[in-house]
């Protein structure tokens, strides 16, 4: 019985408490683990107000870890290929590399992975407008503090200062600074006037779905969004959660439940499967027959 | 109510094609710059249209993904329409011709201080090892010590072990690391920079005193002189830039600390951009000239002093001077125009 009161239950109590506390004390509202998000609010030259969602320590680390693995995989693959290829081509044994005494070894084996390792971030950030493959996967990008894509100088500066942020190891300095600054940036970002924001990810297809829904249904815009959100997450939710959310959504918009949910309780598991399926079909047809 | 729904439907149906067209245009813009004036006007009109649509969408469908889509479309279009003209080659040229010499003038106090620190640490290291020979173990490895005791310099057989190009690559990598650290560690209120500059000064002085005890200091100087002038100049310049970071953090003046820090980094960036490429030349000299006994002392002096002179002339703004005086003329002309329009 005791085992059942696990971390999950603890969090159920603690997180709302912490949120409540954060709302009443806005000073600590930017602590990332409370689920509060910060935004960079800007007014553009033609007077529009826009806001970009600031990426916290978690997203930053996530992106970095992906990038680090990409680099390491490349380096290891390169060394392994060289190791196998060297013997095969009769260029001598890999033991001789350790003496670093041949220019061939330096130029073919050591230099390329070293260059990739050290130039990965600056070069890719410049070429991909403030992104790297890891940042793209984590859904973040580098922008200047006025919301633009940074120039070459700023990107080089933020990468040069990695030397400091990565001290003494595991980016300890950078992590601590990012936790303490209001925009969750490391020293390199402070130096370059840059920060990380989340990329907005509404694709063209998603726009078409939403437009079709907006044109075909008389749902309120917020309900349309709720419906699309629910359908997108349908596959990743538990059946009971799907039934719960689906029925609540139908109740909210004043629609009737699907017919076939009135089965006997002895067939409960089958009935919930049927209800699940019926709900999905009902919601899909509401969304315009997906 | 129904009429407003009809209005929204009409608006959505009329506009969605425009948004998608703009979306595709923007995608293309990432790959290549705007070519014709007509393309540019399409973009500008697209931006205005999206701005109107976004305002409307925020009013009638807040929280909807159509609004979110328009928001990111607007941000992307705004960025491209308002992005400043970028001309990296022009920027690079200006860095060499105007910016780096200006920065050198601005931070000449720090440069002087760093060079003084380096030289006095060198002297200290020399005195320490001359007085207490056993301290040589602090600055030289056991291998270097035993070699020197046999009357040979550790640099003597360098080219028998390694080809010149490998020496050059290794040296460039090492010098680059020292230079970048000398600058970046200035972020710790300048202390990291002071540490690196002092340590390098102490080591150089100590090693010279140690070689002197075996009568090899003349030959060590011969080895060092061809590449050393520029190498040490670059490290001292990077150190001065690092000291500038510390200065900005300790005495930010009327700005905030972050602003002062940012400005110091941007100044240092220009300086490093111009100074660091010289390290490649110094590395090549150290790989091909310094360990090669074929070069005489005179030749080494000419190479070392000549390359050092070139370095300081470029950073002093004396090599590309004609250009900057053209810029001053231009500035004088603009000032005259401004004065005329003020009085008019």
Give A204's contacts in chain B (Cβ within 8 Å): 20, 23
Report the pLDDT averaged over residues A129-138. Answer: 93
pLDDT at residue A24 tops 50 = no
Closest residue on chain A to B176 (Cα): A160
For an interface test with A, the pick among B1, B4, B11, B66 (most A C-beta atoms closer than 10 Å) comes out as: B66
Mean pLDDT over all residues of chain A? 79
Distance separating alpha carbons of residues B197 and B182, to the nearest angstrom:
7
Instruction: Give the model's pLDDT for residue B32.
Output: 67
Nearest residue, CB atoms, B63 vs list A50, A207, A225: A225
Confidence band for A30, pLDDT divided at 50, 70 and 90: very low
Within 118-137 of A, beta carbons closer than 8 Å to B belong to 129
Q: What pLDDT shows up at residue A109?
A: 79
Please identify among residues 253-272 of chain B the ones whose CB lies closer than 8 Å to any CB of chain A.
258, 261-262, 265-266, 269, 272
Model confidence over B29-42: pLDDT tens digits? 766 666 678 888 88
Using a CB-CB distance cutoff of 8 angstroms, which residues of chain A are in contact with residue B67? 221
Q: Which residues of A touch B17 (CB under 8 A)?
A: none
Query: Per residue in A264-288, pLDDT tens?
Result: 555 555 678 888 888 888 888 887 7
Q: At what angle do helices B142-149 and B191-213 cross, to 10 degrees?
A: 30
Q: Is B344 on the interface with A (CB under 8 A)?
A: no
- Looking at chain A, which runs of residues are DSSP E strands? 39-43, 49-53, 140-144, 194-198
Categorize the per-residue pLDDT at A290 as very low, low, confident or very high, splitting at 50, 70 and 90: very low
Q: Is the confidence at residue B310, as pLDDT, over 90? A: yes
Q: Which residue has the higher pLDDT, A3 or A14?
A: A14
Is B64 near chain A, with CB under 8 Å?
Answer: yes
Q: Residues B75-100, buried b or exposed e (16+ Cβ, 10 A)?
A: bbbbbbbeeeeeeeeeeeebbbbbbb
Residue B205 has pLDDT above 70, yes or no: yes
Report the pLDDT value the prediction gives residue A1, as an integer from 0 to 100.
36
User: Across chain B, what does the average pLDDT equal?
Assistant: 86
pLDDT at A46 over 90: no
Contacts of B20 in chain A (CB under 8 A): 204, 207
Lowest-confidence segment of A82-86, A274-278, B132-136, B202-206 by average pLDDT: A82-86
Q: What would the pLDDT profile of B62-89 be if each residue is shown by its tens digit? A: 777 888 888 888 988 888 888 877 788 8
β-strand pairing of A140-144 with A49-53: unpaired
For chain A, what percent of residues have pLDDT higher than 70? 76
- Among the residue ranges A141-150, A244-253, B198-207, the one predicted with the least confidence is A244-253
- Residues of chain B with Cβ-Cβ distance to A41 below 8 Å are none
The model carries a pTM of 0.80
Task: Assess whether pLDDT exceeds 70 at residue A255.
Answer: yes
Is the CB of B61 less than 8 angstroms away from the CB of A204?
no
* pLDDT tens string B101-113: 999 999 999 999 9
Residues of A in contact with B78 (CB under 8 A): 44-46, 48
């Amino acid at each position: 019985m005791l085992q059942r009161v696990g971390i999950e239950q603890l969090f159920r109590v603690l997180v709302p408490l912490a949120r409540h506390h954060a709302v009443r004390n806005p000073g600590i509202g930017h602590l990332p683990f409370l689920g509060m998000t910060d935004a960079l609010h800007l007014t553009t030259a033609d007077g529009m107000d826009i806001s970009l969602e600031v990426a916290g320590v978690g997203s930053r680390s996530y992106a970095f870890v992906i990038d680090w693995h990409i680099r390491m995989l490349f380096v290891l693959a390169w060394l392994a290929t060289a190791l196998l290829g060297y013997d095969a081509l009769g260029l001598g044994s890999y033991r001789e590399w350790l003496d670093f005494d041949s220019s061939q070894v330096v130029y073919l084996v050591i230099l390329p992975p070293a260059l990739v390792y050290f130039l990965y971030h600056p070069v890719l950030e410049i070429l991909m407008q403030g992104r790297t493959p890891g940042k793209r996967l984590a859904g973040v990008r580098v922008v200047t503090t006025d919301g633009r894509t940074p120039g070459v100088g700023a990107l080089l500066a933020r990468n040069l200062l990695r030397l400091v942020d990565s001290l003494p190891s595991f980016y300890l300095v950078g992590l601590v600074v990012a936790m303490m600054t209001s925009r969750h940036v490391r020293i390199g970002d402070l130096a370059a006037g840059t920060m990380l924001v989340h990329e907005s990810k509404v694709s063209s297809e998603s726009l078409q779905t939403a437009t079709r829904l907006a044109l075909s249904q008389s749902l309120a815009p917020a309900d349309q969004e709720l419906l699309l959100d629910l359908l997108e997450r349908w596959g990743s939710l538990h059946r009971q959660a799907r039934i719960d959310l689906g029925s609540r959504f139908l109740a909210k918009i004043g629609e009737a439940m699907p017919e076939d949910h009135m089965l006997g309780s002895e067939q409960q598991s089958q009935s919930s499967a049927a209800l699940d399926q019926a709900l999905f079909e009902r919601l899909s047809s509401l969304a315009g027959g997906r | 109510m129904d009429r407003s729904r009809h209005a929204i439907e009409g608006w959505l149906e009329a506009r969605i094609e425009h948004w998608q067209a703009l979306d595709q245009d923007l995608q293309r813009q990432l790959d290549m710059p705007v070519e014709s004036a007509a393309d540019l006007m399409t973009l500008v009109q697209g931006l205005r249209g999206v701005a109107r649509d976004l305002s409307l969408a925020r009013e009638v469908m807040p929280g909807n993904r159509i609004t979110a889509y328009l928001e990111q479309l607007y941000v992307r279009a705004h960025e491209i329409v308002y992005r400043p003209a970028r001309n990296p080659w022009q920027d690079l040229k200006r860095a060499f011709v105007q910016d780096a010499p200006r920065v050198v003038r601005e931070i000449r106090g720090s440069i002087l201080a760093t060079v003084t620190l380096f030289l006095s640490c060198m002297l200290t290291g020399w005195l320490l090892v001359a007085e207490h020979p056993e301290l040589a173990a602090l600055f030289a490895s056991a291998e270097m010590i035993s070699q020197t005791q046999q009357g040979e310099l550790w640099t003597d057989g360098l080219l028998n072990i390694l080809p010149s190009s490998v020496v050059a690559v290794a040296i460039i990598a090492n010098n680059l690391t020292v230079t970048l650290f000398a600058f970046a560690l200035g972020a710790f209120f300048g202390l990291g920079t002071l540490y690196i500059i002092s340590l390098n000064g102490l080591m150089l002085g100590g090693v010279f005193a140690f070689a002197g005890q075996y009568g090899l200091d003349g030959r060590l100087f011969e080895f060092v002189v061809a590449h050393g002038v520029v190498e040490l100049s670059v490290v001292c310049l990077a150190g001065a830039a690092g000291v500038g970071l510390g200065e900005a953090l300790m005495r930010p003046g009327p700005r905030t600390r972050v602003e002062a820090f940012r400005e110091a980094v941007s100044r240092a960036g220009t300086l490093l951009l111009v100074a660091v490429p010289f390290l490649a030349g110094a590395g090549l000299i150290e790989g091909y000239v310094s360990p090669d006994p074929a070069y005489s002392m005179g030749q080494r002096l000419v190479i070392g002093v000549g390359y050092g002179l070139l370095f300081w002339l470029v950073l002093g703004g004396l090599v590309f001077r004609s250009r900057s005086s053209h810029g001053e003329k231009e500035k004088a002309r603009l000032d005259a125009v401004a004065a005329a329009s003020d009085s008019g």
